[in-house]
Structure 1
Amino acid sequence: MKFSCEKALLSAAVSVASRAVAAKSSIPAMEGILIEAGSQLRLTGYNLETGIQATVPAEITQRGSLVLSARLFGEIVRKMADDVVVFSAEGYMVNIKCGLSEFNIVGSDPEEFPELPTVDQQNALTLPQPTLRSMIGQTLFAVSDNESRPVHTGSLFDVEGDSLTVVSVDGYRLALRRENVTEKKGADAFSFVVPGSALGEVEKICSGEEDITVIQGARHILFQTGDIVLVCRRLEGEFLPYKSAIPRNNPIHVVCSARALLSSIERVSLIISEKLKSPLRCVFGSGMVSITTKTAIGDAADQCPIDGDGQELEIGFNNKYLMDALKAAPAEKLRLEFTSGVAPCVILPAEGEENFIYMVLPVRLKAN
């Protein structure tokens, strides 16, 4: 096998493929990157959960394939001078030259590398990379890490007509984002659940402005953008029926600035830590919300102006859950809806279309 390639392009492709490489595995080949020089140069990382394949422009003079340690190959390419990398292999002996540097290292048998699953297209959708990136970034925080309900360790992609809704839920909160898709093929309505770990990688590969295509197969999902393909398994099971789980006829409504409320909560949270856990006690009055908390080291209080009357509703929150939702909300003005001190708080945009909804469950407060 022999090829030459620009160092910057090769380094970028190695770092993308490395994200899906197993950190430790009983199969040594899985700690490596599969390098295939055929009609194109392809680099693949696969940990049996998620696989990433990057295609690189290269001049291929001799075809072949082998597996190299992802960590070592990545370090070698990254530290080389900005020049053309010349890669040649005889059997498993690899020679890598670039500028004045030269390395001879040993690769391994490509037959030992697990085959990337093929995805038989049932349905597909296309949307701009920045759109999908923001949808994932603004819902991923609410994905569950509780393995007792595996389906909730991923996000639901629910497609109806021209719109895609992404929903994450972990038993304490719910995050929902809705946007229109550019193109759709297959059924009018379909849905599937993508593991949260894979979505973290999808968010990273959505680094450009072009479109990304999402293909639903029987057991796997494929994300394709430009020269990069990511394949992951689908999560099976009954996802929370989110449409009926979000209470919408809430009698108490207030409007506030996301930034101002977040700043107030961050100040009060300074005395809360992993060791000193305590809920936020929020009292929504007329034109103002009072936020207090008490831990072993002291107490803190802050106020934030709001529009509307909260009818002196007293409600407790886990400070992190409320802050996560406020940080993720893609709007400056938010509408907070309540029914009572023991019912969920629903957070929506105060103006424009409802392209996001966050729901945070309250924490029971001890009597003063």
Structure 2
Amino acid sequence: CYTVSSVKGESKNSFILHKKPASILKNILAKAEENTKIEFDHRNARFTSGNTMLVCRLIEGNYPAYRTVIPKNNPNRLIIGRIDFLNAVRRVAVCSNQSTSHIILKISSGKIIISAEDTSFAISAYENLNCQYDGTDIEIGFKAPFLAEILSNLPYENVCMCLADNCRAVLIISADEKDPSEDLCALLMPIMLNV
């Protein structure tokens, strides 16, 4: 969910962009030295920045009402350096089961343990990281590629994971000072842990 309130248009409009053109657009915008012009109708969108133009087909229909599933009361807060966390997730995920890619986070005051194991090959890995954590101790599982994708796409130095328990969606937001006109959050569903 990304919202920019400082950009004003003549009317309220929206469209749904496929993942591939969104990824291409992300790379174009990273290199853009001037404003990007956005034009769209019910079928196509065109993005123009300097000498670069991207035209793509849009997804038909309305985007689901995602705001209804964003948790409002997640009292447990984990603050951690995004790059260190991402690198640890990637390293530990190498030893996760190839078919599930599950990793487990054990979070307690000042410490997070990221672990994975593949019993088929008798391998496992774990890594300890320092963090700031305000809440009850929790053990929660995720699919490593989903968590890594979110962490690799957030533009923040530090992230805050807002958790309720190990069964409810986790909200990942910035832990840094940010532009008040921009709001970016990611939602990640945990996996059930075999206890």
TM-score range with shorter-chain normalisation?
0.7 to 0.9
Kept in 1: contact 2:38–2:48 (CA 8 A): yes
Q: What TM-score comes out, normalization by structure 2 length?
A: 0.84
The change in CA–CA distance for 1:216 and 1:195 in structure 2 (over 3 A counts) is same
Q: CA deviation at 1:203?
A: 3.8
Q: Secondary structure at the match of 2:151?
A: helix
The change in CA–CA distance for 1:204 and 1:265 in structure 2 (over 3 A counts) is closer
- What does residue range 103-182 of structure 1 map to in structure 2 within 5 Å? 176-180=1-5
Q: CA deviation at 1:182?
A: 5.3
Kept in 1: contact 2:75–2:135 (CA 8 A): no
Q: CA deviation at 1:268?
A: 1.5
1:169 matched to which residue of 2?
none
2-structure distance, mates of 1:300, 1:203: 33
1:255 aligns with 2:79: yes
Task: Give unmatched runs, 5+ long, in structure 2.
Answer: none
Q: Looking at both structures, which has the greater relative contact order when contacts are Cα pairs under 8 Å and sequence separation is at least 6?
A: 2
2-structure distance, mates of 1:302, 1:228: 43
1:209 aligns with 2:33: yes
Match of 2:138 among 304, 313, 319: 313
Q: CA deviation at 1:278?
A: 4.3
2:167 matched to which residue of 1?
342
Q: Which moved more, 1:244-253 or 1:199-208?
A: 199-208
Q: Which amino acid aligns with 2:80?
A: C
1-structure distance, mates of 2:150, 2:58: 26
Task: Give unmatched runs, 5+ long, in structure 1.
Answer: 1-175
Q: Secondary structure at the match of 1:234?
A: strand
Kept in 1: contact 2:32–2:49 (CA 8 A): no
2-structure distance, mates of 1:258, 1:198: 25
Q: Secondary structure at the match of 1:190?
A: coil
1:363 aligns with 2:191: yes
Larger Rg: 1
2:22 matched to which residue of 1?
199
Q: Which amino acid aligns with 1:314?
A: E
Q: Secondary structure at the match of 1:268?
A: helix
1-structure distance, mates of 2:126, 2:69: 32
Q: Secondary structure at the match of 2:36?
A: strand
1-structure distance, mates of 2:26, 2:156: 20
1-structure distance, mates of 2:66, 2:92: 31
2:91 matched to which residue of 1?
267
The change in CA–CA distance for 1:268 and 1:225 in structure 2 (over 3 A counts) is closer
Percent identity, please: 23
Q: CA deviation at 1:288?
A: 0.9
The change in CA–CA distance for 1:219 and 1:289 in structure 2 (over 3 A counts) is same
2-structure distance, mates of 1:260, 1:201: 26
Query: What is the number of equivalent residue pairs in this alignment?
Result: 189
The change in CA–CA distance for 1:227 and 1:294 in structure 2 (over 3 A counts) is closer
The change in CA–CA distance for 1:323 and 1:211 in structure 2 (over 3 A counts) is same
Kept in 2: contact 1:284–1:309 (CA 8 A): no
2-structure distance, mates of 1:364, 1:289: 19
CA RMSD after TM alignment = 2.2
Please state which structure has a larger fraction of its residues in strand: 1
Q: What TM-score comes out, normalization by structure 1 length?
A: 0.47
2-structure distance, mates of 1:246, 1:332: 23
